Chains A and B, each alone.
Chain A
Amino acid sequence: MRVTKLLLVLAAVVLVVSIVAVKCEHEEDDFAEFDDDFEEDELSRARSRRARTPSPQKEEDLKETPKKKPPTEDVIEEDIRPKDSGFDEDDEANVMNDEDDFESIDDEDEFDFDGDGKVKREMPPPKLTITSVPMPMRGWQAYWSELLMLIGISVYMMNYILGRYKNQKIAQSFFDINWNILEDNFMMLGDSTILEDEQGTRNYQKMSDSIYQMWCSGRVCCEGMLVELKLLKRQDLVSILANMFRPAKDVLRVSVEMGREDMDSVVFALANKKAATKMSKEYNDLINYCPEKKPAEKYGLPSQFVVMSELSEASSTILDSKTCAVITKFASLIDSIHFTDQFTGLRSAEPETTKDGVMKLPEPRRFLFFTLNLPTTNSGNNCDTVFEEMKPFFQFIFYTIDKMKRVRLSKEGKYKADRNRAKVEEAFMKQTHAARAEAAAVRREEKRRQEKERILQVIMLSETLIMFCRLKISRTVNF
């Protein structure tokens, strides 16, 4: 939202500057145009004036004018020919035309007056015929760029329909294949708008043409599970072209929210190196509690992975033999696995503030995140095969949910974890100390001001009462 506001302001500034620049350019051109066309405009105005004021003509005059014309034309011809013998015929015609144009103005007969005093008009008004020019004048082949644009838009729209259908098919296939396992584990599938409804919508939710999700709830050991499918933007042609240069994959993210009693104080993450770099910079809990990255080979896992953990005993407990086997089997699919009891969102997110505008310590929540990169093709033809092969991973997710309930830190581990959390809280309080002190001072000042106002109001009221009583007394005394 901030970015869009900035963009809008920048756009407004650019528009104003460009309009001013264009106006300055056009000012000179406007005057130049007037200068060039001045004579022509005068001529046309004279013609239009003549056309507007037709003088009454007698039949005799009308008869006379055609008779008179030839002699004047002849005279002109005789005059011109000997002088301009070197001219071509065209030039002669132009010269004649020019003289004809001005003839009506210079002709004395035009302003002959009768005895009645009426103005005679010898020259008939020129007939103007506007020829209709069919459009387009240039031919349709001149509009090749417009045709290209229209073809591009139609291709984009066809791709939109096709891409949308492909994504819909992939999402439908995913939820159909995994429906049984979800139904066996959760009471409610699909968030319901009616709280009393225990069944839920029993369908996934379409957030956009490439993002689908479903909330499942009603299970032991967890509050609920959100299954999110972030597919490639197959409906956007520009994204498809961009994908050719920067390949991306469909992503499946399963976010399991745990209850307070369902999970101990654990912050653990396993990710491939690229994802680990990104997570360690963006996730608040990993920044605060897991500053170091350890190679996953230490735990018998493929070398592409990296482990970030607050306590080594927690990572040893989580990465048991079964977990390691599943991770090794699905190593090509796993992007990251993240268990945390201190999840407060991303660093880039806007912090929560109190009524005074002071930053509030965010409430940590307990989550298990599983992020997978799906090996579906651009056309999505192999989605059924991919999702069938992925079914064991879903079973591993439920196994992990049940296991986290049993994972309990030792006394020493618990003490270390609590100490770390207290340190983080203290650091946050120090950071916001100045802001909180200022907010407290503002509140105190506000309170004092309100008390003063109340006292002033009481004083005013009592003064008015006293004055009223005095008036009453003086009246009764006078009476």
Chain B
Amino acid sequence: MSTTTRQSGTNAVDPRRTDKIRRFRVSGLVFEDFTSDYMSVIGMLFSMFGLMMRMKWCAWIAIYCSCIGFASSRLQDDAKQIFSSFMLSISAVVMSYLQNPSPMTLPFSA
């Protein structure tokens, strides 16, 4: 390994070496964020409740959970899962209103 001078003209040693190039290996210290996974599960749960129990507010919350899961998703995550979560929540809302077009009643209202 021969030391070379910098192109800027200083006398400092160039620390760059071609033979020291290494591929990236995960260190085991990663910024983990499971919000996307939790939100997709919770979104699916609320969609199911909205469809089966005919609770419109559950279906609306499912849409919000899908949105939060989408915003927190990593690029490595499968896009199909996020898409299916969205579709499920939207279908829950649509089906609830087709069955009963009346306005939504909030859970704690009289």
Contact = CB atoms under 8 A, between A and B. Distances in A.
A32 interface: no
A208 B21 contact: no
Nearest to A164: B71
7 contacts: A8-B41, A146-B103, A185-B15, A208-B75, A209-B71, A211-B74, A233-B71
Given A138-B103, A146-B104, A219 B20 contact: yes
B76 A207 contact: yes
A92 to B, nearest CB: 37
A255 B28 CA distance: 11
Contacts of B17: 187, 218-220
Given A187-B20, A207-B74, A224-B24, 12 more contacts: A145-B106, A184-B6, A185-B16, A208-B72, A208-B74, A219-B20, A226-B24, A236-B71, A253-B29, A253-B31, A255-B29, A346-B29
Interface in B59-89: 60, 63-64, 67-68, 71-76
A237 B60 CA distance: 17
B28 A228 contact: no
A11 B21 contact: no
Interface string B31-75: 101100110010011001100110000001001100110011111
Interface in B91-110: 101-104, 106
A365 B28 CA distance: 10
Contacts of A238: 68
Given A11-B45, A136-B101, A217-B21, A186 B64 contact: no
Interface string B7-20: 00000000111101
A4 B38 contact: yes
Grouping DSSP codes into helix (H, G, I), strand (E, B) and loop, the B interface class, with mixed when no group exceeds half, is loop
Q: Give chain B's interface residue range (CB within 8 Å of chain A).
A: 35 or more
B41 A11 contact: yes
Contact of A215 (B24, B41, B75): B24
A255 B15 contact: no
A110 interface: no
B45 A186 contact: no
Contact of B67 (A157, A208, A345): A157
A398 B74 CA distance: 31
Contacts of A233: 71-72
A129 interface: no
Contact of A18 (B38, B53, B76): B53
A135 interface: yes
A219 B60 contact: no
A22 interface: yes
Contacts of A149: 60, 63
A344 B76 CA distance: 24
B20 A211 contact: no
Contacts of B44: 11
